[in-house]
Structure 1
Amino acid sequence: YFKPHAIDDVATILFSSGSEGKPKGVVLTHKNIMANVRQISELINATEHDAILASLPIFHCFGLTVTTLFPLNDGILSIHVPDPTDAFSVGKMSAKYGATIMFGTSTFFRLYTKNKRLNPLMLASIRLAIAGAEKLNENVRKEFKIKFGIEIYEGYGTTETAPVVSVNTPNVLEPDFFKELHFNREKSVGLPLAGTVIKITDPASLQPLPNGQEGLILIGGHQVMKEYYDEPAKTTEAIAQMDGVRYYKSGDIGYIDDDGFLFITDRLSRFAKIGGEMISLGAVESAVGEILGESAIYSCVNLKDEKKGEKIALLYVGEASEDEISRRLKDSALAPIMQPSVVKKVEQIPVLGSGKVNLKAVKDLAIELGL
């Protein structure tokens, strides 16, 4: 006897990346996933001539929903590459089958810009490249544009939202009056998908904040998860009911501008408290990136400090010496309180299979090194 599935039945349990701690089992229903598939479909507006480069792992929600279930549901040709870090294979498959749409992480896009075997012509057919899962590095965006002539558009999502929440896309010329319609904004993660409601609230009281003011990002919509697997307390902590809508408390800090574009400024957990001041590690990393450019791969962590409560440690991979990096930071315009107290050269920055920096492993490495 076959029992048909209901739309609110569990479709899959995906474990969050665990980049900041123990992974949680995210329970997603058929409704969660199919709602996001339809939202993505409206956004991409694919034609019969499109082909999606499907190289993201399906154990990650980005790969499962966006590059696997979405093309299957919409009948779009998908070109599968088992290892997204194999840049040459990604290029060969793209050229062989004429990929027009590609998704990736900042880490993966960086690999493609650096790989000398990946000829720029291999990606000549790509009309749309979208980055997600982690913050898009500005240097990666620029280098990718220089090498391939392709603009990377940044999006935002979480496993708990199946995963896509917002995305930048190319501007469109309105045909009747020849007016340019704007669908992307520099340094933003784009506009919310159709049917998605985003609220910016005070982290403690959850009171809504006005446009332009930073606060906790709450996400409402049919793509919001059912629960965390076997963790009712964490589910209650993560879900807020407001005006009849279930919102996921993302743990991300950001703001919305007057045109509706969403900007992410940091994770709620990624702040260092130095001498009573809350310092965003994401802001420090952005400043470090502008100073160091492509000379290093890096990550910042907050560590205990006897004098100031906490301190910032910068771990990096690169040719430059620790003294050289320290000197360049001190000579920069970076505010003294945001300057890393410790600069340490390491063999590699730990990353997850999804391509995201493993923040917990980076912090563990810093502690292991006695920083």
Structure 2
Amino acid sequence: MLNLSVVLEDSAREHPDRTAVVLGDMRMSYSLVNTLANQVANLLASRGIGKGDKVALACPNLPYFPFVYFGILKSGATVVPLNVLLRSREIAYHLRDSEAKALFCFEGTPELPLGERGHAGFREALPAGDPHADDFFLLPATPFATDSGIEGVRTLWSALDGLPGEFETAATAPDDTAVILYTSGTTGQPKGAELSHQNMLMNAIVSDEMFDLAGDDVFLATLPLFHSFGQTVIMNAGFRRRATLVLVPRFEPAAALALMRAEGVTLFAGVPTMYWAMLTSVHADGAEVPATLQTAVAGGASLPVEVLKDFEKTFGRPVLEGYGLSETSPVASFNQPGRPTKAGSIGTPVWGVEMKLVGAGWETIEGEGPGEIAIRGHNVMKGYYNRPEATAEVMKDGWFRTGDIATRDADGYYSIVDRAKDMIIRGGFNVYPRELEEVLMTHEAVSLAAVVGVPHPSHGEEIKAYVILKAGAAVTEDELAGWCKENMAAYKYPRLVEFRESFPMTASGKILKRELR
């Protein structure tokens, strides 16, 4: 018996009155979150949904997310978290692909009518006549509303009315699937990574014990909880620590800094663009730096070295940069407390995890590399759901190949060169965008940079830099291209430069290079 919901249940038993979740003026204790999760489990059981079934959850960082998530787990079912930006057609695809029998969906806002999209996708995936066609539960934007604006749809509160607040958690095995996390689908259709209770629980434990925290901690939950980084490092590890989670449904740098000061946040975890945005808010708008912050964690994409140095200087705290993927639960490596931190490195493998560099034929690459990172350990997924061929392409003898190209120094620290798919081939030469972005970030006028390859008739690809300038900076695109020519090798400097006010990003804050291309 092993069920990921133990991270909530143990905390609720030992510290029932401690605040688990904060959203604005709303504060929910561990006891209340656990009771609501039990009601969700009872609801699913009453609908004949339990061990082995799949249940989808589409919700931003609101109190609904944790208690529905853990309620699904308590029932023995598998959670399928959905990106809140998905359209109806995409929701239908995810429901069909995962074979989900029910959907808990946030009502949304006029700008993001998630409830309408979710219901349309659910009707498409589970047409009338399906035994679970009524198992769509709306999470209303108005707290505790029992009436739904969608005809024939129940709100969660009306569905939970009268159900017991106690539930005996299903006896799931360590290797049973707890969560199916869908990859971003940058190539082809998104695939669902099957993560077991052991995968997710071990990763939460390792993440929790890795950070040197003092107790009575407060985590700022700006990372989407439907994403693996926020789910493991913030929610699951936070609940295991008995921490308080301050929920942020939509990241805005000034508001995030204000919440950190008001709530006494001790741990912040974010993607690089969040760090960049907070620094911009401090430098350009004079936002005050929070005094209580003890630990800053970065992941999800490579953190530019200039941003890392600026944060450490401005906030007085080092940034612990790590690395992982949905397929690895997600944490695989970190610059860990108690060991030297190396700027620009993703650190060393976390406890119980092995990493190595491999070539195209799975051959091990010794020494510095470069090579593709392969990972083995308690964090590696069972495989892609219902996709044995896709699983076989990336897994062999327990090793998972990541698609990320890296080097390794003499101390065993890994450094990402770039995503293999982002590599640019210009005139037969391999060019790694991250290297160029790091150089661009040293220019006094550059605030943020993203480099991509664009089609070229003779070179195959030409190199183009998209740049966001610092406030008040004065430099032309031609001048910046000329500076690049002076500071980079002739075969790899960006001939093309375009200034932007912003970059397209995913819901988790990663730059969408495919849209820039």
Q: TM-score, normalised by structure 1?
A: 0.86
Instruction: Give CA-to-partner distance per residue, 1:207-264, whole Å, 9 cap, x none.
Output: 21223221111011111111223322211111121xxxx1110001112222221111
Corresponding residue of 1:312:
463
Greater relative CO (CA pairs within 8 A, separation 6+):
1
Q: 1:253·1:266 contact (CA, 8 Å) conserved in 2?
A: yes
Equivalent in the alignment of 1:324 = 479
- For residues 51 and 268 of structure 1, do their structure 2 counterparts lie closer, same or farther at Cα, with a shift above 3 Å needed? same
1:62-101 paired onto structure 2 within 5 Å: 62-83=229-250, 85-101=251-267
SS of residue paired to 1:216: strand
Q: How does 1:1-371 map to 2 (within 5 A)?
A: 3-18=170-185, 22-83=189-250, 85-116=251-282, 119-121=287-289, 123-171=290-338, 182-202=339-359, 204-241=360-397, 246-290=398-442, 292-318=443-469, 320-330=475-485, 332-363=486-517
In structure 2, the residue corresponding to 1:338 is in which secondary structure? coil
User: Residues 92 and 19 from structure 1, CA distance in 2 versus in 1: closer, same or farther, beyond 3 angstroms?
Assistant: farther
Aligned-residue offset at 1:20: 6.2
Cα deviations by residue, 1:60-112 (Å, 9 ceiling, x for unpaired): 100111111111123223222222x2223322322223221111111001111
Q: How much has 1:18 moved relative to structure 2?
A: 4.0
Q: Partners of 2:393 and 2:194 in 1: how far apart?
A: 15
CA contact (8 A) 2:305 2:343 kept: no
3-state DSSP class of the match of 1:211? Answer: coil
What is the deviation of 1:22? Answer: 4.5
Contact residue 298 and residue 349 of structure 1 kept, 8 A: no
Distance 1:124 1:65, change over 3 A: same
Query: Percent of aligned positions with the same letter in both sequences?
Result: 30
Per-residue deviation, residues 170-227 of structure 1 (Å, max 9, x unmatched): 44xxxxxxxxxx342232111210000001122x121212232211110111111112
Aligned residues of 1:139 and 1:294 also touching (Cα < 8 A): no
Shift of 1:294: 5.0
Q: In 2, distance between residues paired with 1:19 and 1:298?
A: 20
- Distance in 2 between residues matched to 1:21 and 1:140, nearest whole Å: 33
How many residue pairs get aligned? The number is 344
**1:35 CA drift (Å):** 1.3
Deviation, structure 1 residue 34: 0.6
Q: 1:275-330 deviations in whole A, cap 9, x for unaligned? A: 2221212222222222x345243211112222122211222233633222222222
Letter of the 2:430 counterpart: M
Partners of 2:412 and 2:495 lie apart in 1 by 37
SS of corresponding position for 2:481:
helix
CA distance in 2, matches of 1:103, 1:283: 24
Check whether the contact 1:88–1:118 (CA below 8 A) recurs between aligned residues: no
Deviation at 1:273, TM superposition (A): 1.6
SS in 1 for 2:277: helix
Say if 1:239 and 1:248, in contact at 8 Å, map to a contact too. yes
CA RMSD of aligned residues (A): 2.1
Q: How much does 1:19 deviate?
A: 5.2
Moved over 6 A (4+): none
Counterpart AA for 1:349: F
Q: Which runs of 5+ in 2 are unaligned?
A: 1-44, 51-169
What secondary structure is seen at the aligned counterpart in 2 of 1:141?
A: helix
- Deviation, 1:39, is 1.2
